Structure 1
Amino acid sequence: MTTRKKYTRKFKDEAVELFLASDLPITQVATKVGVKAGTLGNWIKRYREANPEKFDTGEQESVSFAEHQKVVAENAKLKQEIEFLGKVSLDSNRQGNTSGFRVVRSCWASSGVRKLKHFRGRVLSS
């Protein structure tokens, strides 16, 4: 049975401050400190909860209702355009979004090269 390691508050705070001061990912800082990334992540979470003043960036930007409605309307319009383009694509080739080159029937030429006889339902040669 393994024993659980206990870390001092000072060690935890220094590890968190090392992470916050560097631009390194949690995994690299955790390796340097000698703990698992999940453990360091938990320490960072608790540190932020205990010290919210260090992470308070001031007022959050609020968006006016009119601007919000404008973005919602634009989003709805773009969704309609995407839906329309999907339907047009399905109707244009009757196959959905598949490649236009579809060999329905082919034949062997005298040179041994396959010739395309049909393209999108149209006979190219007889």
Structure 2
Amino acid sequence: MATRRRFTQEYKDNAVSLVLDSGRPIAEVARSIGVHEMTLGKWVKKSKDSGRDAEEPLSASEREELEQLRKENSRLRMEAEFAKKVATWFAKEQP
């Protein structure tokens, strides 16, 4: 029967940073440090999920800027779509 290995949080954090900071695949890092690929994958997933929870909510000014940028983005998309239609129309009119 196999014994279950235990890893310190520091070891897990270092292994996760090897994956995230170096851009190396989980399988490659797992082989190099002698950990099962699924184990390291779970550590990376947990790290990414906990990072998402730690995000701070938007401040009022950030929320206002985001809304303004969304409106501007929408307007620019409409203008680009209109420009495409006009260009197509002019292209059809040329002999």
Give the TM bin, normalised by the shorter chain.
0.5 to 0.7
Query: Which structure shows the bigger proportion of residues in strand conformation?
Result: 1
Query: Which structure shows the bigger proportion of residues in helix conformation?
Result: 2
User: Structure 2 regions of 5+ residues with no counterpart?
Assistant: none
- Is residue 79 from structure 1 mapped to residue 77 from structure 2 by the alignment? yes
Instruction: Calculate the aligned-residue CA RMSD, in Å.
Output: 3.8
User: Structure 1 regions of 5+ residues with no counterpart?
Assistant: 96-119, 122-126
Q: What percent identity do the matched residue pairs reach?
A: 24
- Is residue 62 from structure 1 mapped to residue 36 from structure 2 by the alignment? no
**Aligned positions, number:** 86
Give the secondary structure class of the aligned counterpart of 1:9: coil
User: Looking at both structures, which has the greater relative contact order when contacts are Cα pairs under 8 Å and sequence separation is at least 6?
Assistant: 2
TM-score by length of 2: 0.58
TM-score by length of 1: 0.47
Runs of 4+ in 1 over 4 A off after TM superposition: none
Contact 1:26 1:40 (8 Å CA) reproduced: no
Structure number with bigger Rg:
1
After superposition, residues 1-126 of structure 1 pair within 5 angstroms as 7-10=4-7, 14-20=11-17, 23-27=21-25, 28-34=28-34, 35-36=36-37, 38-46=38-46, 48=47, 60=56, 62-63=58-59, 64=61, 65-94=63-92, 121=95
